[in-house]
Structure 1
């Protein structure tokens, strides 16, 4: 949480998250002269990532793959191959993305996922740093508002129930050790000018990173500006009827302190008849816009029409969000 401000010509920006929202913001920020770091959740246990995670006891590679693809400076033809997903008819490799297999191979070759990702980042000419939040897979746990609990991101998401709290543990919890982020992650947070949280699923993409104890402590200790990018749409069951201030309160409550300084909030209105709910297999609603409540939570609201309507869904416009982040990075008043 910021206590001092110094304008920098090449700001150090750390983007913490996962899922589909994080690459959108990174793609926008890549256009600027920044020292960029992505910190990525490792609690995913579904799809190709979940299969490789269980079979090889490795961190799920999918979110790492998408970030590397966005930050790579290689020709698009090579990125397309890296992102290629095998057809369902391929019995052995069905639904696996080639990049996931490459990341798994690098982790095995280097005998360490963190080192493997750094080596691959050099090969792919990644502009910035790509850090898994932990060098071992984490298990996500949730307590719902009805008092029941579940473990595993896929099961938690599929439950479509209101979540009260979440926490993470190492996949191998036989030693009773707590999850820890690598020193590179902690140093990036402590030395950042701006830390960006989100956008993305609050309880399954953003908060799992912050539940790693030394990450939470680093967020409390950093002098960086901490910026939360409010979601545009709610998530079925988990955040029904949530305002942007409710999202902020959940972050502060889980971390145990008001760590967020600024909230980037969308003012654009999603047309009621635009989103194809059958395609997305989920009925959600636009997050309630409440800048005054955000102020009461101790954060500064930064407003803008962030809306990008495409593919029958509502998304953040990464270019506009990146522009606002850069304004925050270089303004002593935000």
Structure 2
């Protein structure tokens, strides 16, 4: 058995238990494929209880992944938040490296539901608020004694449970940083997913917590526009510059998800909520990091947008004014 870092010994799970839980890594149990390997669903006996788990099995064919494996184990062992995936344990045995977490993705990832016509504006807002709270916890929680820069925020790393609550995952390239240095650059290669990478990384040669802010801004616009951050063969393959252009030209409604427009025409959505949300998302994409807000401010604004959406009940006679306000979008309601 490979040498196990003593700090995490209590999280060690015997290989035979993981093999049994996943039916010997049967292909029918594969629920995801990532850069490090396949993710399997299974049933694991733990402390006398049968729990449903996800098991990320590092692909031995390509080698590597050692640093990413221990980074994820280290991060998840310290992180406890309702909007972050929970670690069950890991296996480091017989050349196998497996990270086991509770099965959070009963509704898949956010990426799979961006264009889902049944995902309401209120649900989209709740997902946004949940991810914002997770990032705020990463950046500012003092109980750990350090902050975390995620570095891989995207709609694939946001998992959705049976109640559509988001669970942030994908900590394999995360970085620990002193709480009082979260705005200072940590030297880093531009690691990340196309469409979400902070454009300031190339200039500064590193990341700060504001790099997570940029990526989260892209996710917010994915949620609003119902499309992915990057579409390979599309004329507007990158979402970020597209939404910046439309926002600055007051034409953002042209690219908002059509089902959200339909909700507007059916009195189900607050123009003020939509405006607060879009202003917040836009501020996250500012080119200069110093102009981007911090997560505490973003959480506050998104919670206000959600509150406005939940309490908004327009009277039928106000339909014309509400709908016109939606079309022009940035014109304040009287």
TM-score (norm 1): 0.27
Q: Considering Cα pairs closer than 8 Å and 6+ residues apart, tell me whether 1 or 2 has the greater RCO.
A: 1
Q: Larger Cα Rg: Structure 1 or Structure 2?
A: 2
Query: 1 or 2, which has the higher helix percentage?
Result: 2
Give TM-score scaled by structure 2 length.
Answer: 0.27
